Structure 1
Amino acid sequence: MRSNEFQLRVNWGDTDKAGIVYYPNYFKWFDIAGHQFFRSCELSPLDLEEKHGIILPLLDVHCTFENPLLYDDIITIKTSVEEINNKTIKLSHQIFKGDTRTGVGHELRGWVKQQDNDIKAVPIPEDVISILNEDIQNISSKNPWLSA
């Protein structure tokens, strides 16, 4: 199934008093990675909403923290499709510092149609399922913030 990876730098504001990454940042990074993933598939969440009335709300999230991250660490976030159901997509996320995995988890997102003042989960179209099932790995080019 399709996957994507990109890099970020841990900022000072991402850490706690002990200088270790504060755990909610993993969930922030999962969210960023999910949106990056959909963009890499040419399924931009903004385009889906504006052109098709589709939004991708978060239904469930989980993370296991394995190793600490510190200020100024460069991390690689690897995202892949773990499971596609009729109305949901489960993305797997792994965060690495070099070769060391620091955390692993997932997001479960709904495929939801906005109509008037209502939202309703709807079946994921076959063409989208085909895109998500492609065996393609996108690796984003170097982020200019990493060399600053």
Structure 2
Amino acid sequence: MFHCRVYYEDTDLAGIVYYANYLKFIERARSEMIRDAGLDQAQMKQDDGLVFAVRRVEADYVTPARFDDALAVETTVAAQSGARITLQQDVKRDDRLLFSAIVELVCLRADGRPARLPASLRESLPRWVR
């Protein structure tokens, strides 16, 4: 679970979280999940020439978050293959669902071709399976 707070800069003229900022919240949660798996993404790029890229996002905006809300991003693994992970990411305030996304990540080589997920990540993924 990744926790964050809504700051003034995250809101729009109506005082609610600007829609694109939910993507930032879930990106931070994914980065922390990968870090928790023992991967340093900068080192992975430097040493192995591998990076993660978002291939697809399906987003559902349920109800707005507002300035100063304390949010929690829950990330679970919905599916995985050799070079791909599909994640379910839910943003909640208390127990109320505000935003939900299905995010497909791929592991890529420097030339843009798919690469097998790093072993340390594959081994740690079961902790995040629903």
Matching residue of 1:75: 71
Look up the match of 1:103: 99
Mind listing any 5+ residue stretches in structure 2 that lack a counterpart? none
Shift in Å, 1:83: 1.0
1:10 partnered with 2:6: yes
In 2: Cα distance, 1:69 partner to 1:128 partner: 31
Q: Which residue in the other structure is 1:146 paired with?
A: none
Identity %: 24
Secondary structure of 1:57's partner?
strand
Residue from 95, 113, 124 that aligns with 1:131: 124
Residue equivalent to 2:24:
28
User: 1: CA distance between counterparts of 2:28 and 2:118?
Assistant: 24
Query: In structure 1, how many angstroms separate the alpha carbons of the residues matched to 2:86 and 2:108?
Result: 14
Q: Indicate the residue corresponding to 2:54 in structure 1.
A: 58
Q: TM-score, normalised by structure 2?
A: 0.89
Assess if the C-alpha contact under 8 Å between 2:75 and 2:128 holds in 1: no
Q: Which amino acid aligns with 1:86?
A: G
**Higher RCO (C-alpha 8 Å, min separation 6):** 1
Q: Is the contact made by 1:26 and 1:63 (CA closer than 8 Å) also made in structure 2? A: no
Query: Highest CA radius of gyration, 1 or 2?
Result: 1
TM-score scaled by structure 1? 0.79
Amino acid at match of 1:119: G
Which residue does 2:42 correspond to in 1?
46
Which portions of structure 1, spanning 4 or more consecutive aligned residues, are displaced by more than 6 angstroms? none
| Deviation of 1:91 (Å) | 1.5
Q: How many residues align structurally?
A: 129
Kindly report the root-mean-square deviation, in angstroms, between the aligned alpha carbons of the 2 structures.
1.7
